Amino acid sequence: MSNKKLLVVSAHAADYVWRSGGTIAKYIEGGAEVHVVCLSFGIRGESNDLWKTPGRTYDEVKEIRRGETTKAANILGIQHFELWDQQDYPIRVTEELEDRLVRKIREVRPDIIITHDRFDIMNPDHNDVSAFVYRCAVMSNSNGVRIEGTTATKQMKIFGFEPHQTELSNYKPGSIVDITSVYDKKVAAMECFKAQSHLIEYYKQRAIMRGNHARRLSGNQSYKYAESFMNYYPAVGPELY
């Protein structure tokens, strides 16, 4: 992992933590360079508890979310963290945003992109971001897409986050990553998100469940906690994984 670069594109301020915080920490622990882009703060769609306070404003929510996610990113050890401050619910994909992400991909030159899976039955933003990131990756890889100061990337691996309600979202785990050694960091990062405190327990249990699946599917009893991902593409390489 030590020479790998990851780019994680998160629709809202906390998605990358719930869904890939352990894998991010694992890669960083292994020496990888991790870039995270949060497209939005999730002000409209993922801050329900904060809005229960009477008189709450957009700016207040934004600052709370900014503080929470920055703290979480620090706990995970993320080296490059960007908040692009787009509106959510819905996230509107513009040409300008496409250009910005293509440029970002070309700057980072990731081995792996992690983003949302293609379909989340509860959250159209996730679907839109999935399509957006996938499209930008294709454009980034094409050397005819000329953007000054950049050159085309080569095809990277792409993985999709688990959605909240997996079965209804046609989600199938293609990869399960053992996060046992960094699980404490993931928990600490999750605990930064006061506005979605009900999700902390949910994703703790999810890590235990995926740990159970990891043991069951591999026979490796040392796996206690895990995260799963959808594979956009097959695994390609010198052996069977």
Closer residue to its own copies in complex, CB, 26/75: 26
8 and 112 Cβ atoms separated by less than 8 Å = no
Select from 203, 153, 143 the least CA-distant residue to 23. Answer: 203
As measured in angstroms, the least distance from the Cβ of 44 to its own copies is 4
Quote the DSSP letter at residue 69.
H
Residue 170 contacts by C-beta under 8 Å, 6 or more apart in sequence? Answer: 118, 119
As measured in angstroms, the least distance from the Cβ of 72 to its own copies is 19
As measured in angstroms, the least distance from the Cβ of 189 to its own copies is 19
- Distance between CA atoms of 7 and 37, rounded to whole angstroms? 8
Closer residue to its own copies in complex, CB, 36/112: 112
As measured in angstroms, the least distance from the Cβ of 71 to its own copies is 21
Closer residue to its own copies in complex, CB, 71/213: 213
As measured in angstroms, the least distance from the Cβ of 190 to its own copies is 15
Closer residue to its own copies in complex, CB, 72/126: 126
**Strands 80-86, 5-10: parallel, antiparallel or unpaired by DSSP?**
unpaired
As measured in angstroms, the least distance from the Cβ of 74 to its own copies is 23
Closer residue to its own copies in complex, CB, 17/61: 61
- Distance between CA atoms of 213 and 224, rounded to whole angstroms? 10
Please say whether the dihedral angle defined by the alpha carbons of residues 71, 192, 228 and 140, taken in this order, is positive or negative. Answer: negative
| Structure tokens that stand for 87 in this block | 């509106």
Q: With 0-12 CB in 10 A as exposed, 13-18 as middle and 19+ as buried, what is 8?
A: buried
Closer residue to its own copies in complex, CB, 74/209: 209
Rounded to the nearest 5°, which phi and psi values hold at 224? -100, -40
